[in-house]
Amino acid sequence: MHIASYGRWTLALGLLAACGGSSTPPAEYPPIDEPEPETRPEPEQEPLAQPEPPPPPPPVQVVAAEHTPIEGPAPAVRILSPRANQRFARAPVSLRVALTNWTLGPDPGNHIHVIVDDLPYIAVRDVRRPIDLVALLREHLDHELAPGSHVVRVFASRPHHESVKSPGAFAAVAFVYQRPTEGFSFDPRAPLLTYSRPKGCVPAGERVLLDFFVTGTTLAADGARVRYTIGSLASGELTSWQPHYIENLPVGEHTIRLTLVGADGQPIAGPFNDTTRTITVAERCPEATPAHAQGAHGTATSPATSTTPSP
């Protein structure tokens, strides 16, 4: 009886020892290797579309236009004063013009272009009274008439400054202010180129009038021609005397040069047969003040019209 009881306690103690009664910790399980996270390659991005380059600007070109028709007889211009080679010892230097078949009017309207030497024209809208050229140049071009020999040219012009291209619509005469210029000579019957347009400031986006007067010769493909140069943008020769327009002239300053050349392509001698002007094409042209009217139209205005109205 006692032996059986002892045996049961011995078995129980052995089971307790087997079940963890010992103070020795159990061995740890080896770590489980976790799989590396799967890395997927970044999708290739398509290159960004490059913006299309802007188209090149249209080329600058000179195109011929039709003559603006005249209603009734062609205008006639005569210079009554100065007389040929007349000498003026002091101001005023009186310009008197007889004008027929061309009614003058306020801006915009018919007018005449008055050019002294090779200066830009001044648009004159009243010829009822004598015009003092000294005061005219000072007021509208901020220019002083220097002592010496000079030439004044006058021709009829339309409201948009296109010259009336008929022989009687032009007149020119030489005069002397204070003292003559040594070696000066001027023959109004010789081939003569008179630059008119463009000048000053021109609004961007507009066609630019290229206009001139030719006397003493006739333009032809096999004869006299007017060579034009527009900076480095365009050049060529004009073989017909008609209005022309410059197209696609970009914003900025531009140098316009007109030269009268003969059939052989050589410049024809003359004091004004090679003229250069610098103009500006701008988004907005400044308002011109009378003393600097060259930047706009250079207009001499008066409430009157012509001395001789159209019939």
Within a domain: residue 252? yes
Task: State the total domains in the chain.
Answer: 1
pLDDT by residue (tens digit) across 147-156?
999 999 999 9
pLDDT of residue 167: 85
Q: Give the chain's mean pLDDT.
A: 85
pLDDT by residue (tens digit) across 64-98?
999 888 888 999 999 999 999 999 999 999 999 99
pLDDT of residue 30: 63
Report the pLDDT averaged over residues 117-133. Answer: 97
Q: Which of 16-25, 96-105, 294-303 has the lowest mean pLDDT?
A: 294-303
Report the pLDDT averaged over residues 120-131. Answer: 97
Please report, for the domain that includes residue 86, its CATH number. 2.60.40.10
Which residue's structure tokens are 């007149």? 171
Within a domain: residue 148? yes
Report the pLDDT averaged over residues 220-233. Answer: 97
Q: Which domain holds residue 73?
A: 61-300
Could you give the 3-state DSSP secondary structure of residue 290?
helix
Within a domain: residue 31? no
- Which two structure tokens, joined as six digits, stand for 273? 């047969």
pLDDT by residue (tens digit) across 23-38?
555 556 566 666 666 7
Within a domain: residue 129? yes
Q: Does the pLDDT of residue 275 top 70, yes or no?
A: yes
272 contacts 91 by C-beta, under 8 angstroms: no
Dist CA 67 CA 79 (whole Å): 25
pLDDT of residue 71: 84
Confidence of residue 4 (pLDDT cuts 50, 70, 90): very low
Within a domain: residue 269? yes
User: What is the chain's alpha carbon radius of gyration, rounded to the nearest angstrom?
Assistant: 45
Q: Using CB atoms within 10 A of its CB, is residue 2 exposed (0-12), middle (13-18) or buried (19+)?
A: exposed
Confidence of residue 46 (pLDDT cuts 50, 70, 90): confident
Report the pLDDT averaged over residues 175-203. Answer: 96
pLDDT of residue 186: 96
Reported pTM? 0.77
Between 195 and 296, the higher pLDDT residue: 195
Within a domain: residue 270? yes
Dist CA 185 CA 299 (whole Å): 29
Within a domain: residue 17? no
Dist CA 105 CA 48 (whole Å): 62
Residue-wise DSSP of 175-230: EEESSPPTT----TTS-EEEEEE--SEEETTS-EEEEEEEESS-B-TTSBEEEEEE
Report the pLDDT averaged over residues 274-282. Answer: 97
pLDDT of residue 242: 94
- Which two structure tokens, joined as six digits, stand for 22? 């010992």
pLDDT of residue 138: 97
